[in-house]
Structure 1
Amino acid sequence: MNDYKTGFMIRAGEEKDAGLIMSMIRELAVFEGLDHEITATVEDIRKSLFEKTQAEIIIGWLKEEPVAFALYFYNYSTFLGKAGVYLEDLYVREKYRKQGFGKEMLRYLARTAVERRCERLDWLCLDKNAPAIEFYKNLGAHVLDDRRVFRMSGDRLSRFAGV
């Protein structure tokens, strides 16, 4: 997506962007108060996104300045019998918020989902992020409040796996 009027452009992340991606992930973690959970390295990002292709990433640029990123991958609905796009993270740098860049990033992902014949675009949002929740609702997204996210990780995952 290119908007020549504003100079905003979205492109797929490239291997050379691994350091930039990691720095924006750190910014997102600080914004969410979760920076203590960061263990990823630039090399982890490079390998998982560009060597193993476990997820995809797009970066929004305003002229030459990176202003946003969105990381996503496929999920699957057994009820629909079709894949969906799952948005893991959407981040717009603070000084660029409320200028429509987040909306354009989501629109790009929605087009990606439709073009790839996916049925849905799903994502999570922290309960404490009221501005984002309102933003998503205003776009026409609805909250699935009949579900809970469960997670097993680290030592608990290993113990349960019997490893």
Structure 2
Amino acid sequence: MRENKNNLVIRNAKEEDVSTLLSLIKEIAEYEKMSDQVIATEETLMESIFKNNRANALILEVDNKEIGYCIYFYNFSTFIGRSGIYIEDIFIKKEYRGNGFGSEIFKFLARKAKEEGCKRIEWSCLDWNEPSIKFYKSLGAVPMDEWTVYRLTEKEIIKLSEI
């Protein structure tokens, strides 16, 4: 399916989009072979995104059909002394990929970063996801090979908080 990227609408998600967001999150999890890790619910998304403003959600539409989403939030660089945008997810349904919509969401976020004085846009990518890596490099993105991402999960957070 070839769509004109001029038909793309990028809009802020609204509370009534929460079920669509969850459905799209489940689709990206399936693509990333991580479906078993999705524990998000409509309620947790509603609380985190719309009630507590912990993240921002964008919906991508073509002809009033939701074709993808983006979740991002702000981080901070002490070295630069400025905030940046961290992209948690960008997902476009398979049948809509290759139409320039990925580039459009990055352009959208770049304009937002520029307007808000953000000095970086960062994200993570799975090592095996060659199509995405190729796309990111085509934008001029560079991998941060000298950095390793570390994570504390809920179990470790609870354990550490009780020490």
TM-score, reference length from structure 2:
0.95
Computed over aligned residues only, the root mean square deviation of the Cα atoms, in angstroms, reads 1.3
Tell me if the contact between 1:68 and 1:102 (Cα under 8 Å) persists in the aligned partners: no
Cross-structure match for 2:39 = 39
Cross-structure match for 1:30 = 30
Distance in 2 separating the partners of 1:35 and 1:154: 18
Q: Provide, for residues 5-31 of structure 1, a one-character-per-residue CA deviation record: whole Å limited to 9, x for no partner.
A: 742111001111000000000000000
Number of aligned residue pairs: 160
Which segments of 5 or more consecutive residues in structure 1 lack a partner in the other structure? none
- Aligned-residue sequence identity (percent) comes to 36
Residue 64 of structure 2 aligns to which amino acid in structure 1?
E
**Shift of residue 121, structure 1, vs aligned partner:** 0.5
Tell me if the contact between 2:5 and 2:100 (Cα under 8 Å) persists in the aligned partners: no
Residue 32 of structure 2 aligns to which amino acid in structure 1?
E
Cross-structure match for 2:71 = 71
Distance in 2 separating the partners of 1:16 and 1:94: 24
Task: Tell me: higher relative CO, structure 1 or 2? Use CA pairs within 8 A at least 6 residues apart.
Answer: 2
Residue 83 of structure 1 aligns to which amino acid in structure 2?
S
Cross-structure match for 1:129 = 129
Tell me if the contact between 1:69 and 1:92 (Cα under 8 Å) persists in the aligned partners: yes
Tell me if the contact between 2:49 and 2:56 (Cα under 8 Å) persists in the aligned partners: yes
Cross-structure match for 1:150 = 150
Cross-structure match for 2:60 = 60
The answer to whether the aligner puts 1:89 opposite 2:89 as a matched pair is: yes
Aligned to 2:142, the other structure's residue is in SS state coil
